[in-house]
Structure 1
């Protein structure tokens, strides 16, 4: 292998280098048993971020409304509390938050792809509230909060 090949494989990344060696990763979600497209397929990152933005905005507005007439210095703390409560209640009962529902997403359990049990919803939501686990992804674009709770976000 000459230097150009070594540099080229380094620049293209480990996935491309592994594919050059014969590894077949398939589409994102394949190893989870999800379809490639359509309902039940892995939710795209853009929609997931959009749903999170909508949910956070609704939580901030709710916290602001609850604190009307009081000092606004603790609004962000209350917004996080509202976000956690809203996520646990909605994902634990109907499988999606308002933001996810608007963008056609839902959270399901990987074992049987049914509704996520409430205790696993609590684990997922607390980890999501910490934020760091949601920023660590695997090759299927699942955050650490989804991996640890045995869940996945799919298209509705």
Structure 2
């Protein structure tokens, strides 16, 4: 049981694996990332706060074009749909070409590919955005601090500063 939970539950499992290898001491050690500072795995707090900042920016941009109305549910539904669309655009385009969204940039974190390529790429950014929208794949992380969407796209969220 400990080996099964050790993959996704930090702190679970024995100090050594079944093959006698020593387990990693920090998130990202297996990936060759430093324990702290630039290039280390970003924690869940900055990732969540970055998402919240992106959602607020999307809502503010949407208010420039659609006025929200608490009295009219149809107008509010339209506002919410446009907000999701704006959020997708401000998430996919910057992440694909720069490696970070506005919220991530404000917090000093970015998405990096494990194969060392410069750009995250459009398909990876689209998959990451779609799975973030579902929430659960973005919330569950393994011992390396990588969520399901990171593992599916071959990426990791790291610190820029």
The answer, yes or no, to whether TM exceeds 0.5 is yes
List aligned pairs for 1:1-156, cutoff 5 A: 15=11, 17-19=13-15, 23-68=22-67, 71-112=75-116, 114-156=118-160
Assess, with a 3 A threshold, how the Cα gap between structure 1 residues 40 and 65 changes in structure 2: closer, same or farther. Answer: same
Cα deviation, residue 46, structure 1:
1.2
User: 2 CA distance for matches of 1:40 and 1:113?
Assistant: 15
Aligned residue in 1 for 2:5: none
Report the aligned-residue RMSD: 2.3
Number of residue pairs aligned between Structure 1 and Structure 2: 144
Higher mean displacement: 101-110 or 14-23: 14-23
Cα deviation, residue 90, structure 1:
0.6
Aligned to 1:58, the other structure's residue is in SS state: helix
User: 2 CA distance for matches of 1:69 and 1:35?
Assistant: 45
Compare CA radii of gyration and give the structure with the larger one.
Answer: 1
Higher mean displacement: 63-72 or 43-52: 63-72
* Structure-1-length-normalised TM-score: 0.81
User: 1 CA distance for matches of 2:134 and 2:81?
Assistant: 12
Cα deviation, residue 118, structure 1:
1.6
Q: Structure 1 stretches of 5 or more lacking a match?
A: 1-12
User: 2 CA distance for matches of 1:121 and 1:140?
Assistant: 20
Cα deviation, residue 56, structure 1:
0.8
* Structure-2-length-normalised TM-score: 0.79
The structure whose residues are more often helix, as a share, is: 1
Contact 1:64 1:72 in 2 (8 A): no
